Structure 1
Amino acid sequence: MTGPHPAVAACRRQVRSALSDAELAPGSTVVIAVSGGADSLALAAAVAFEAPKLRIRTVAVTVDHQLQDGSADVALRAAEQCRDLGVDHAEVRTVDVAAAGDGPESAARTARYAALEAAAASYDAGAVLLGHTRDDQAETVLLALARGSGPRALTGMAPQAGRVARDERIETGRGFETASASAPASSTTFLRPLLDVTREETHAACAALRLEPWHDPHNDDPRYLRVRVRKALADLETDIGPGVVAGLARTASLVRDDLDYLDDQAIQLADGLGESPWRADELAILAIPLRTRVWREVLRRAGSPAASLSKVHIDAVDALVTAWHGQQPIHIPGALQVRRGAGLIHVEGRRVQ
């Protein structure tokens, strides 16, 4: 007796691992985000196969953005295929996309995640599963490199994260995330089981299972940044050779491990410091990558909104230790000020005039 197609097996293996790592209790529910494309259908098929073994109930949710003619039919077809796969429940949620300052892609993304979070809340789901692949991860990292967005952005998309983890803001329906501590937190857990699966494999899995993926015409429209980045990545694979996608995805994982370690060390140091004042000479001996993280953590604990703390603020505060010349107190978001006196660093509430 032959086993499943290798691409089907790869998807199932990754889903099985993700569900196990999430430590979902038997009898719990997961929501699967299904657009109708190959990635999300391959995900739905794998979840429908693996979840019953763990006694996990499955709900497939397709979000109809109403941005294209026939979108309702596409959404209904996606839900129908999920039911055929054995998903316990499949539904379509229609959203109204109001274009915001960041453009229609951002507005659609915001509406989509809001719908998925609402679905998770209504079913008391332990997690929402997303179909991002290794190719999506590589595109995310490539964009971060091009923008010079900093090391945290190079970590790409986390395999498991809240709506907003401490280090990221989800921005992608099909590929891009930027590092930021600015977005509001949410209790919804998002899983991306297919980050080690290629887009080619998800298409092969759908073909093997005789599924009919929908091809989004927006994926070929160069007006969209994600389409241009995808083409640039394909050109790199052609010019440099195979392995660029895997290399970028591997870079994301390696950088994430290093940054998570530094963040954890900074939290431990902040715990040891306690509340201000702190001796400037003790702070000065910390390595710069640790010290800047310690500043962010202690200022956040003092009441400064993480969303508003910029590199400019951190650099100015750090100069009280590294380039002290009697400068005035540094004003920090959250009505705080940081000053140096008698070799000590003080964080105080700012006097409001």
Structure 2
Amino acid sequence: MAGPPRAVAVLRSAVRAGLRVSPAPVLAACSGGPDSVALAAALAFEARAAGVRVGGVTVDHRLQPGSAERAAATAALLRGLGLDPVRVLTATVPAAGGPEGAARAARSAALTAAAAELGARVALGHTLDDQAETVLLGLGRGSGPRSVAGMVTVRVDRGVTWWRPLLGVRRRTTRAACADQGLPVWDDPWNTDPALTRARVRGELLPLLEEVLGGGVAPALARTAAMLREDLDALDALAAAELDRLAPGPPGGPLPAVPLAALPAALRRRVLRGWLRAAGVPDLQAVHLAAVDALVGGWRGQGAVDLPGGAGVRRASGSLELLARGHRGPRPGATPDTPEERPRRD
């Protein structure tokens, strides 16, 4: 007996193991494009053997003419595949900010709410080609190693598990899987709009790199991201252990500066980031982290560092202290000019 076409088999294999790691239901996020439609079809097929309930959700951003009709057609396709429940969500995309980022944030908020309500994981159709684009964008923007490390297969954020089982699958394979199964797909014009950065990376930059470097660029970028993630995960684990050692008390407690200064810079900054995040500091950016790090590695008696949300950090009595929102003036009893704290005069 002949098996399924190769592309269909690749998609089903990609979701099979991950579908079985948890009995929690799965929501397939589907835009109607070939990647997410192929994902939904594979999940629908494998759900029977896995004994996991798989539903579907499509988000109407209301940014293009006919979006409501398109969302309804996508929902009908998902129901035809056997997914249950199937929901159409509407998202309000703010006018401020770039259209790509604003739409992504609005979609994420809508999916988060739906997943939390149903206690479900969210399956996303990002492919190896999406991963390569993400790596290039991270490199070009200089947004740090985590950005260059790309997307992860499983990520938990705000209590919701986000699952990307297709990060090892090429975009051409998802399109072939849809064609082999006779599944209609919609090609979003935003994906080829030269006014959008990712679309230009996809349509111009990656093809040029493929031509100049002789092919294989997208898989090479994805491999680089995977190797970098391994290194970053190891550093993060070491930083977490150092934070537990240096500040074993409740989140936001004092962090000794002198032993922290002895750590390599990459490890020290991760300890600082973990300390600040554990204390609930929101929207921490590289500029904030660099200023706090200067209280350790570049100490010259400078004052407190202001942080997002109105909090701050000061070095006093040999430790970094997190200051509450609206902080002003020295802490009573602090001795910011003890011998180890005195600013260098060089």
Which TM-score band (shorter chain)? 0.7 to 0.9
CA–CA distance in 2 between the matches of 1:318 and 1:221? 41
Structure number with higher relative contact order (C-alpha < 8 Å, ≥ 6 residues apart)? 1
- One of 194, 207, 210 as aligned partner of 1:234: 207
What residue number does 1:208 align with?
Answer: 180
For the structure 1 residues 217 and 273, does the alpha-carbon distance in structure 2 shift closer, same or farther, using more than 3 Å as the test? same
Q: Distance in 2 between matches of 1:96 and 1:298?
A: 34
Alpha-carbon separation, structure 1, partners of 2:74 and 2:45: 17
> Aligned pair count?
319
Contact 1:134 1:194 in 2 (8 A): yes
Report if aligned partners of 1:329, 1:340 keep a CA contact under 8 Å in 2: no
TM-align CA RMSD: 2.1
Aligned equivalent of 1:297, options 274, 299, 303: 274
Measure the CA separation in 2 of the matches of 1:300 and 1:120: 24
Residue of structure 2 equivalent to 1:61: 57
Identical-pair percentage = 48
What is the identity, as a one-letter code, of the residue corresponding to 2:311? A
Supply the distance in 1 between the matched residues of 2:119 and 2:245 (Cα, whole angstroms).
Answer: 38
Structure 1 residue 277 displacement after superposition:
5.7
Cα offset, 1:304, TM superposition: 5.9
Could you tell me whether the CA contact under 8 Å between 1:316 and 1:330 is conserved in 2?
A: no
Does the 8 A contact of 1:8 with 1:208 survive in 2? yes
Partner of 1:352: 328
Question: Matched residue of 1:113: which SS?
Answer: helix
8 Å contact from structure 2 (residues 128, 166) kept in 1 = yes
TM-score (norm. length: structure 1) = 0.83
Matched, 1:255 2:228: yes
Helix, strand or coil for the counterpart of 2:42? helix
Q: Flag the structure with larger Rg.
A: 2
Alpha-carbon separation, structure 1, partners of 2:220 and 2:195: 27
How far apart are residue 97 of structure 1 and its match? 3.0
* Residue-by-residue CA offset, 1:247-277 (whole Å, 9 max, x unaligned): 1111111111111111111010110112536
- Structure 2 residue corresponding to 1:102, chosen from 97, 103, 108: 97
Is 1:5 aligned to residue 5 of structure 2?
Answer: yes
The residue number in structure 2 matching 1:220 is 192
Which residue is equivalent to 1:29? Answer: 25
Deviates more, 1:206-215 or 1:77-86: 77-86
**Aligned partners of 2:94, 2:322: CA distance in 1, in Å?**
41
Task: Please say if 1:84 is aligned against 2:80.
Answer: yes
Q: How many Å separate the matches in 1 of 2:323 and 2:93?
A: 41
State the alpha-carbon separation in 1 of the partners of residues 99 and 320 from structure 2.
Answer: 45
Give the drift of 1:279.
5.8
Any gaps of 5 or more consecutive residues in structure 1?
164-185
Q: State the Cα deviation string for residues 113-160 of structure 1 (Å, max 9, x = none).
A: 2221222133232x0101010001100110111111111111111111
Distance 1:297-1:90 versus aligned 2 partners, 3 A rule: closer
Residue type matched to 1:311 in 2? A
Structure 1 residues 86 and 251: alpha-carbon distance in aligned structure 2, compared to 1, 3 A threshold: same
SS of structure 1 residue aligned to 2:167 = helix
| Residue 219 of structure 1, CA deviation | 1.8
1:150 pairs, out of 137, 144, 153, with 144
TM-score, normalized by length of structure 2? Answer: 0.85
Secondary structure of 1:194's match? coil
Residue type matched to 1:105 in 2?
A: E
Which amino acid in 2 is paired with 1:292? R
Deviation string, structure 1 residues 9-28 (Cα, Å, up to 9, x no partner): 111111112223xx322xx3
CA contact (8 A) 1:320 1:340 kept: no
Following the alignment from structure 2 to structure 1, what is the Cα–Cα distance between the partners of residues 122 and 265?
37
Q: How big is the shift at 1:314?
A: 3.4
How big is each residue's C-alpha offset from its partner over 1:80-108, in whole Å with a ceiling of 9 and x where there is no partner? 22222222332322334332x21333332
Matching residue of 2:336: none
**Any idea what SS the aligned residue of 1:269 has?**
helix
SS of structure 1 residue aligned to 2:57: strand
